[in-house]
């Protein structure tokens, strides 16, 4: 694995643009498009519940329930195609990831707004391993104390983005919509849910 640190002050972010070889990434994308139980999650936006602008599925070990945007999600079972990826990440990073949020961006209109992965179940300095499959999309960080300071990267097919340390405390991130014609993209954000979620 060739994770290269990004120049983000007060953060620990690294990118491997080719963590999965193209044939393996192609096969995983095709399997997950078919095997994952894609849903429309309801999220709270400016105080009201709305449909999220993407398809999602919360996946994990039986105890790994997760609350975000005002809703608690019970995990779906791990798809078979995802288990080798989970095992490889745990072997290479030394972290027992017990859950993953899968997001499907069907085209350039689907998006993710500014947010942090800072739910209490993740702990104060979470490690998030984010695997991208399918269409290349722009991914943006911005400083919480200086929102005008942004850092954009492009996440391609088979790339792995690792966020750790104080990244969630210091930055927000987003996947903006694009008017360019793009195909579907799946993003898998592997996480470790702590014991707070088990009650």
Which single residue is written with the structure tokens 């919360």? 58
Tens digits of per-residue pLDDT, 140-188? 999 999 999 999 999 999 999 999 999 999 999 999 999 999 999 999 9
Report pLDDT for 169. 95
Q: Which domain holds residue 169?
A: 4-198
Report pLDDT for 199. 32
Report pLDDT for 176. 98
For the whole model, what pTM was predicted? 0.93
CATH code at 161? 2.60.120.590
pLDDT tens-digit profile, the chain (199 residues): 699 999 999 999 999 999 999 999 999 999 999 999 999 987 666 677 777 899 999 999 999 998 877 778 899 999 999 999 999 999 999 999 999 999 999 999 999 999 999 988 899 999 999 999 999 999 999 999 999 999 999 999 999 999 999 999 999 999 999 999 999 999 999 999 986 433 3
DSSP string, 148-172: T-EEEEEE-TT-EEEEETTHHHHEE
Sequence-separated (6 or more) residues with CB below 8 Å from residue 57 = 36, 37, 38, 39, 76, 101, 102
pLDDT averaged over every residue in the chain: 93
Q: What's the CA dihedral at 194, 10, 102, 53 to 10 degrees? A: 120
Domain total of the chain: 1
């Amino acid at each position: 694995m060739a994770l290269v640190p990004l120049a983000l002050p007060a953060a620990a972010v690294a990118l491997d643009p080719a963590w999965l070889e193209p044939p393996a990434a192609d096969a995983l994308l095709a399997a997950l498009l078919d095997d994952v139980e894609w849903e429309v999650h309801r999220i709270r936006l400016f105080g009201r519940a709305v449909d999220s602008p993407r398809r999602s599925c919360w996946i994990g070990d039986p105890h790994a329930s997760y609350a975000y945007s005002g809703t608690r999600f019970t995990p779906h079972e791990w798809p078979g195609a995802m288990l080798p990826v989970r095992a490889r990440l745990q072997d290479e990073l030394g972290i027992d990831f017990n859950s993953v949020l899968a997001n499907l961006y069907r085209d350039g209109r689907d998006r993710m707004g500014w947010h942090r992965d800072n739910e209490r179940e993740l702990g104060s300095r979470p490690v998030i391993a984010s695997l991208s499959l399918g269409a290349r999309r722009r991914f943006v960080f911005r400083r919480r104390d200086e929102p005008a300071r942004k850092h954009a990267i492009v996440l391609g097919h088979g790339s792995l983005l690792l966020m750790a340390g104080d990244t969630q405390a210091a930055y927000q991130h987003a996947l903006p919509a694009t008017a360019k014609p793009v195909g579907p993209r799946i993003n898998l954000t592997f996480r470790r849910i702590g014991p707070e979620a088990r009650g």
